A = this chain, B = another copy of it.
Amino acid sequence: MLPEEKDTINQLTKAPIESLNLHSITVVTNLYRAAQGLRNKMEREVLAKHGLSWTSFSILYDLWIWESVETKKLALSAGVSKATISNITNTLERKELCFRKVDNRDRRITCVVLTNKGRKVMEELYPRFHEGEVEVVSSLSVEEQKLISGLLRRVIRENDF
């Protein structure tokens, strides 16, 4: 929050400024803005070539690493609902980047598997994605990168994100 906004907030909420934790507001604002910018940059500069969204890419990444992943675990990993995973899986199947496979031991469970075409896309895309990752945080030293990762991880753990 900008300093000049304090009085505005104070006036609008009719609450004393002391009751607002400005540091928390700043962290949350900067955290979301950085993440939003990161996503937009990656989708625009890297993923658009293959018509993939950030979430689609993160799902392909999981499949690339683990070969076969349950729908529920994909949702947990990407932080989206299982309905979203179902929709995105449909799109990825249409592009022949993955396919569904029902678990034989528990027929309620559906696994998603990467196709060879999907693997090729990731082999081309991941290096470019990684370049973007490096670029985004290049203004921070390695020590600062370790520091911010540790702080973010504590927020994640403490909130079960």
- Say whether A25 contacts B130, CB under 8 Å: yes
Show 14 residue pairs from A and B whose CB-CB distance is below 8 angstroms, ordered by the A residue: A12-B64, A12-B65, A12-B122, A13-B126, A23-B137, A23-B142, A23-B149, A24-B130, A24-B145, A27-B140, A34-B161, A40-B161, A138-B158, A148-B151
| Complex CA–CA separation, A8 to B126 (angstroms) | 13
A117, chain B: closest CB distance, angstroms:
15
State whether the Cβ of A95 lies closer than 8 Å to any Cβ in chain B.
no
Chain A residues engaging chain B, CB cutoff 8 angstroms: 5, 8-9, 12-15, 20-21, 23-28, 30-41, 54, 64-65, 79, 119, 122-123, 126-127, 130, 133-134, 136-140, 142, 144-149, 151-161
